């Protein structure tokens, strides 16, 4: 027969000071973690419009080198939906106002670019 011996030990309890110090340390670590998360989230929010503007500039360069599309069109570049709109200007004849507007995957407008270009392209 196996005999199990029960050892009676008393556990030393933590004092109130130790508990408060542990809570303060935990709160500081949590605070620094939240600040880091917020800064990273804010950085991600500011990068999206910059990427959209870069995609709009890329489409504009393609339009200037290859010529205007036939009608108002929608294209996709860099993960953005880009709407291309053409409008005739009133003042000097033969100029076209080109509006490029980018939208993200949620349909929110992330950037817009306007440029007047010659219409004979």
Question: Per the domain annotation, does 9 fall within a domain?
Answer: no
Q: What is residue 54's predicted lDDT score, i.e. its pLDDT? A: 87
Q: What is residue 11's predicted lDDT score, i.e. its pLDDT? A: 67
Q: Alpha-carbon distance 57 to 98, whole Å?
A: 12
From first to last of the 121 residues of the chain, give the pLDDT tens digit: 677 777 777 767 778 898 999 999 999 999 999 999 998 888 777 778 888 888 888 888 888 888 777 667 777 777 788 888 888 777 777 788 888 898 888 888 888 989 888 776 5
Question: Per the domain annotation, does 109 fall within a domain?
Answer: yes
Q: What is residue 90's predicted lDDT score, i.e. its pLDDT? A: 75
User: How many domains in the chain?
Assistant: 1
**Residue 77, domain extent:** 16-118
Exposed / middle / buried, residue 82 (Cβ in 10 Å: 0-12, 13-18, 19+)? buried
Q: What is residue 12's predicted lDDT score, i.e. its pLDDT? A: 76
Question: Per the domain annotation, does 6 fall within a domain?
Answer: no
The owner of tokens 């290859």 is: 66
Question: Per the domain annotation, does 72 fall within a domain?
Answer: yes
The pTM for the full model equals: 0.57
Q: Alpha-carbon distance 68 to 98, whole Å?
A: 9
């Amino acid at each position: 027969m196996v005999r199990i011996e029960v050892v009676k030990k008393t556990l030393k309890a933590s004092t109130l000071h130790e508990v408060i110090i542990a809570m303060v340390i935990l709160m500081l670590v949590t605070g620094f973690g939240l600040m880091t998360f917020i800064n990273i989230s804010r950085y991600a929010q500011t990068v999206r419009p910059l990427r959209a503007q870069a995609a709009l500039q890329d489409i504009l360069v393609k339009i200037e080198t290859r010529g205007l599309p036939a009608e108002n069109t929608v294209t996709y570049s860099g993960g953005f939906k880009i709407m291309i709109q053409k409008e005739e200007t009133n003042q000097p004849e033969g100029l076209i106002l080109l509006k490029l507007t980018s939208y993200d995957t949620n349909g929110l407008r992330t950037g817009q670019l306007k440029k007047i270009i010659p219409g004979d392209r």
